Amino acid sequence: MVERAMKATDQERETLKFCREPKDLFERYIRARKSNDIEVRQHDAAVEVRTRFEQLDYLLRRVADLEELKFPWTGTDQDIPMMVRLYTECFYYTSARLLAVLRKSPVIALEIDCRPITDIRNLLIEHPEGPDGQPIISWSWDHEDGRGPVLEGRYADGLLRVVVDQGLRRNAETLYRTLVTRFREGLNQLPQSETS
């Protein structure tokens, strides 16, 4: 789904939005949590979740657009690689915030974790100085296997990387599957009268 959404034409992208299914499931979930309480559906946390979904769609589309510009890349426009990395890092920040709101808001209260997102955001981008962190020493965005941009940290003891980034597309796909699975499970755990 992620790869198709990132490679789609503008018209196709509107129907292949990365967050369409997770967002639809979220709306069902939040309605089912308190179906008679309009304040729950308009609660700040619910509004933020909707915004984060839109931001994630935007970031993935921008990375795809920039990747289309890179070939043939002559190296003269230094802004393109910088923007790809910026949007990639923003994707991890936004994803981590989405997960935190889903998990910590008492209105939503969804048990959810997506380890690749959390590890990359925490250990490579936000807290590389920590005991398990590692500063980003390089990054790449040209992978024939379709991984998308990859952030790379230092090696631990010269042997293995503590955090191995599987690439933006693969991590976005993992996030997508996690969101869909957890919303479906959350809906199934609610009493039947709430989900009707």
Given a cut of 50, is residue 141 above it in pLDDT? yes
Q: Is residue 132 domain-resident?
A: no
Q: Let me know if residue 137 belongs to a domain.
A: no
Per-residue pLDDT, 52: 96
pTM: 0.82
Estimate the crossing angle of helix 44-69 against helix 168-189, to 10 degrees.
150
To the nearest whole number, what is the mean pLDDT of the chain? 79
CB atoms within 10 A of CB 49: 25
Does residue 149 lie in a domain region? no
Number of independent structural domains in the chain: 1
Question: What average pLDDT does range 3-8 have in this prediction?
Answer: 53
SS (H, E, C) 136-173: EEEEECCCCCCCCCEEEECEECCCEECCECCCHHHHHH
Whether 183 is covered by a domain: the verdict is yes
- CA proximity to 170, closest of 139, 147, 150: 147
- Condensed to tens digits (0 to 9), the pLDDT of residues 107-137 reads 888 999 999 999 899 888 887 776 666 666 6
Is 161 part of any domain?
no
Residue 94 in domain: yes
Does 34 map to a domain? yes
Look up the domain containing 18 and give its range. 2-116+168-195
| Residues 92 and 125 sit within 8 Å (Cβ to Cβ) | yes
Has residue 48 been placed in a domain? yes
Among the residue ranges 27-31, 35-39, 49-53, the one predicted with the least confidence is 35-39
Which of residues 95 and 74 earns the better pLDDT score? 95
